Structures are given as C-alpha cells and as structure tokens.
Chains A and B, each alone.
Chain A
Amino acid sequence: MSPERRAAILLTLLGAALVALPWLAGSYVLSVATLILFFAYTGQAWNVMMGFAGQLSLGHSLYVGLGAYAAAGLFFHYGIGPWAGVWLAIAACVAAGAVIGFLAFRFGISGVYFALLTIAFAEFTRIGFDHIQWLGGPGGLFIKVEQREAWDLLDLRGTPRMFYYVMLALTTGAFALCAWLLRSRAGYYWQAIRENEEAAQALGINTFRWKMLAVVISAAMTAVSGVFFAFYYNNLFPEQIFHISRSIEIILGPIIGGLGTLFGPILGAAVLTILADGITELMALAGLEIPGVKQVFYGLCLLVVVMFLPHGIWPTIARRLGLTRR
C-alpha cells in the first residue's frame, strides 16, 4: 500500500472516531477532548510561523488575547455575535502581527531577539489591558452564560457537545489549510527561509514579504482560537490570557509533536493534555495538591523529547506507520 493511501485511510478512521466521540464519551472526556483540539488548532497556527517559516514567536498569547477581547467586547457591549466579531478579532491580530513583523524584519531582528520582541509585545499588551476599564480591566470581562441546553451556533452559546464540534471543525480546517499551504509556493519559500535565509534570497525570494505573510496568517488563525476561548470559558482576565505561560503552553504541543509537521501539533496537544490532566487527576485521588506540578511536568516532557526525539514524536510514529517513503 502506498504511503498516501495508508495516510488517507488512517485520516478517515481518525476523523470518524473524532466525530463519534461525543456520543461515546462522558462530559469529562469531552472537555479534555475540546481542550486538546483547542491546543491542536492554536499549535497549528503557531507552527505556520515557527515550523514552516522558522520565525520563533514566544508571544502567541498576544493573538489569543486580542482575538478573545475583540469578539467578547463586541458581544458584551453591543450584542454583536462571534461570527461578526471574529473579523474584528482577525483584523486586530493581523495588524498586531504586521507591526511586530515589520519592526523585526525591516530592521534585521532575528532569532532570539525576534523571540524577545514577541514576548515584549505580549507583555505590554497584558499590562495595557489591565488599564482598559471598558473591557473589565484586571477584574475581568464576563460573558453571560445562558442557553446551555440548546445549540445556538449563531451566538456560540450551547452545550459542551456543540463547542466540541466547533473546535473539531476549526482544527480540521486549520489542518487542511496548512496542508495546502505547505504544498504551495508559500510552503516551499517558507521552508527555504527557515533552512537558510541567505540562500533563499539568492534564489529570488523576497524574504521580507514571505516572512510577513507567515506572521500575518499565523496571527489571523490564532485570533480565531481566541474568539473560541472567550465564548467557551466566558471569562477573560488580562493576567491569564496574555500571560507568557499561555504562550509556552501553545508552543509545547508542536515542539513535542514535531516542528514543521502537519500532525505534530495535533499529536503533541493530545499527548501533553492527556498526560497533564492524568497527573492532576492522580494527584487529586491521592489527596495531594501541589501547585505548579503541571509546569514541572511540561518541563520534563520537553526535556525527554529534546534529548531522545529532537524532531518530535510524530516523525518517528509516521515512519512506524509506514507513512514516509524513507
């Protein structure tokens, strides 16, 4: 069987399992699955910038937060639904990404310094939002929780099952978009820039333009995950949503799953979320409550993967499943 055929069959099976899941699993499993999809989607978005184009962002919480506040603010004050709000969210994140990208790429800031710049933007946005009383300031912004029984897709109010399917659709869409991008001219150019920027320029690639495109697409995709976050959790605090630990949580999945791969972000999110939740549950069963145990666990995971599987888990599994030609 050819690797393509094998991949198509496995994808179909996985898709069927994910669609059937809410009818088989209880509410706890469903909430964990929704969380996995949330991180898979957001990790996929981050992967466009780092995995494809090699531009390390350590401040992706900026886009989650901006997207969340943009849509939640519109809904809270004017009753404008998330399907309209998401466009404002995307516009805000694209603008923020464009400013960061322009500053960095125009003035030759790259590598670690670029990463620092992304942290700086996320941090001062966090502090800035503490002072925007219109959006609740440090006290938080709350969206009314109602209609938990019916599916109101238009206002994104509904049952956990609805949120699961929305997140599943988003993750599927992001996967398809990234698969297409990777095979397009942009995908080739991004990888060339990631591998060697000087050689890329010598082959006629306007590296500034293509790096900007990567940042803007990544920011726009992340904005949508912010909108979901706002309507799923119904409360937003600058201290939480813009926090650097959020950014780290976003990037761990793709790194552990496999940077630059299509399945890495999904696999990584699943492994990390399941293990981290398992540990928290186990600790609770044992009657222990140790704050920060999740962070320590994340650190250990990263350590193990970096040491033994520097390209992430997915490439190894893909080989085992016979999905690669080598």
Chain B
Amino acid sequence: MALLEVRGVSKAFRGLRAVQSVSFDVAEGAIAAMIGPNGAGKTTCFNVIAGVFAPDTGTVSLGGRAITGLHPHLVCRAGVGRTFQVVKPFPQMSVLDNVVVGALNASARVADARREARRVLELLHLQEKRGALAASLTLPERKRLEVARAMATRPRLLLLDEVMAGLRPTEVDEMVGVFRRINRETGLTILLIEHVMRAVMALAGRVVVLHHGEKICEGAPEEVVRDPAVLECYLGEEAL
C-alpha cells in the first residue's frame, strides 16, 4: 500500500514552472529515490510535500490523509520528517539539544525526549559529539545531525535531501548501511533526493527521474539507468 501519494503536483515561481504535474507513489516501508539534473525540481517537489510551498495544482497525501498545503509544522506532526539540502542546524545549541528539539515532537516530556535523542544519536554515530555545539561540526557531521533531528520526530516518512553530498565513498557506504538498518528494523519509509548514484543504487527499490520539472522516467534502479532519456539528460553515456 502506498504511504505517500503525489498526484498531479505543479508549482510555478512567477514564470518558471519548477514542477509540472508530477505524480508518484512511495510504498509503505520502501526506500525510493528521486534523481535528475540540477534545477529539475527535486527540492521544490520536497518542499511541496513538506508544506513549505502549497502546490498550484495537485494533491499530496500521507497514509490516505490529504496533507496538501498544510503548514510545515503540521506536515511534521502528520508524520513527515525532512532534512534540508543546505543544512540548517541550530548552531549555538549542543548536538544533543538539537536532536531533543526534534524528539519533543513525539514525546512531550523533556526527560523522555533526551533519552530518545541519545538513542538516535547513537544510531547515527554522533554520540561522541553530543556535548559539542552544532556550529563546531564538520559538514558530513552536520548532515548526519540533520538526519538525526528529523528521525527524532518519529516520522512515518523520512525525506532526505542530498545527505550523501560531499561524503567520501566509505562514508557513503556507512550512511547507506545506517539507512538500510533503520528501514529494515523500524520499517521507516524513506524518500531521498540524491546525486550520489552509488547510494541510490544500493538503497532505492524504486527511482523517480525528474527533468525540467517533469517526471521522465520511473522504475527499478537497474531499469532507470538504462533508460535512453535518463542517460541523455542526466547520467551520460559512461554510466553504462
């Protein structure tokens, strides 16, 4: 059964049509990826799902419940956790406190939220850094913090916006391992925007390709990377 249903979503900024009647599903418990060249509308699509922008047309629903045009905080309450492509940590708060803020979404008591935050930090191998200010983290660490904070909200669907960018191949493999484990153990549904194909191929069961705001291809990763249109606009011939 589909957890996330995106139906005919369009969003324009003045003249620019960033996303044009895009539809796709993400099944409950699945990991899906969204790929495409820069400016294809991937992040706009995320922002529509997360409630940052209301779509001009189309609907978004989560577990059968319409969340189209809800405020971002209500979308989070409904069960969508997200990371930002350009990371947005709370720099003058400690790593632990950053994650506690997320955890308070699911548990009203601060003591419970702190316990949950520690658990999530361990999952993402950040427990050593919990006392440090978020401002002092390296970029790969900030990306992981971003994931930890979103996961602490206890989402049903996790939206990851380029969390692998800038990581070394070994770090990518480590993150892939983390997401696989979380997905397997908790059944958390994940939708990721990613340019690192190594991660996409290893994680995603299904891939949606956007180009100029339109969906040009959708399918299993092995099919998608052989699709002539995808090769043409994004991956290039050498991907074969």
Interface residues of A (CB under 8 A from B): 183-185, 188-189, 191-192, 195-196, 198-207, 260, 325-326
A206 to B, closest residue via Cβ: B73
Q: Does B189 contact A (CB under 8 A)?
A: no
CA distance A189 to B88 in the complex (A): 15
When the two chains form their complex, are residues A198 and B88 in contact, meaning their CB atoms are under 8 A apart? yes
Contact of B88 among A199, A204, A325, A326 (CB under 8 A): A199
Residues in B neighbouring A326, C-beta threshold 8 A: 131
Interface residues of B (CB under 8 A from A): 50, 52, 71-73, 76-77, 81-82, 84, 88-93, 97, 100-102, 104-105, 108, 110, 113, 131, 149-150, 153
When the two chains form their complex, are residues B73 and A204 in contact, meaning their CB atoms are under 8 A apart? yes
Residues in B neighbouring A204, C-beta threshold 8 A: 73, 76-77, 102, 104-105, 153
Contact of B100 among A188, A200, A202, A205 (CB under 8 A): A188
B72 to A, closest residue via Cβ: A201
When the two chains form their complex, are residues A325 and B72 in contact, meaning their CB atoms are under 8 A apart? no
Residues in A neighbouring B108, C-beta threshold 8 A: 185
When the two chains form their complex, are residues B101 and A200 in contact, meaning their CB atoms are under 8 A apart? yes
A196 to B, closest residue via Cβ: B88
Residues in B neighbouring A201, C-beta threshold 8 A: 71-73, 76
When the two chains form their complex, are residues B72 and A188 in contact, meaning their CB atoms are under 8 A apart? no
Question: What are some 17 contacts across the A-B interface (CB < 8 A)?
Answer: A188-B101, A188-B104, A188-B110, A188-B113, A191-B101, A192-B90, A195-B90, A195-B93, A198-B52, A198-B84, A199-B88, A201-B71, A201-B73, A201-B76, A202-B76, A204-B153, A206-B73
When the two chains form their complex, are residues B84 and A199 in contact, meaning their CB atoms are under 8 A apart? yes
Residues in B neighbouring A325, C-beta threshold 8 A: 131
CA distance A248 to B131 in the complex (A): 35
Residues in A neighbouring B113, C-beta threshold 8 A: 188
B114 to A, closest residue via Cβ: A188
CA distance A199 to B93 in the complex (A): 13
List 16 additional contacts besides A183-B110, A192-B90, A198-B72; criterion CB under 8 Å: A185-B110, A188-B100, A188-B104, A189-B101, A192-B93, A195-B93, A198-B52, A199-B88, A199-B89, A201-B72, A202-B50, A202-B84, A203-B101, A203-B153, A204-B76, A205-B73
A198 to B, closest residue via Cβ: B88
CA distance A167 to B195 in the complex (A): 61
B102 to A, closest residue via Cβ: A203
CA distance A200 to B108 in the complex (A): 16
Chain A nearest CB, measured from B117 CB (Å): 10
Residues in A neighbouring B81, C-beta threshold 8 A: 202
Residues in A neighbouring B100, C-beta threshold 8 A: 188
Among A185, A199, A200, A206, find the residue whose CB has the most chain B CB atoms closer than 10 A: A199
Residues in B neighbouring A195, C-beta threshold 8 A: 89-93
CA distance A42 to B57 in the complex (A): 50
Residues in B neighbouring A200, C-beta threshold 8 A: 101
Residues in B neighbouring A196, C-beta threshold 8 A: 88-90
Cβ-closest 7 pairs across A and B: A195-B90, A204-B105, A204-B76, A199-B88, A201-B72, A192-B101, A196-B88
Residues in A neighbouring B72, C-beta threshold 8 A: 198, 201-202
When the two chains form their complex, are residues A191 and B97 in contact, meaning their CB atoms are under 8 A apart? yes
Chain A nearest CB, measured from B146 CB (Å): 9
CA distance A75 to B77 in the complex (A): 49
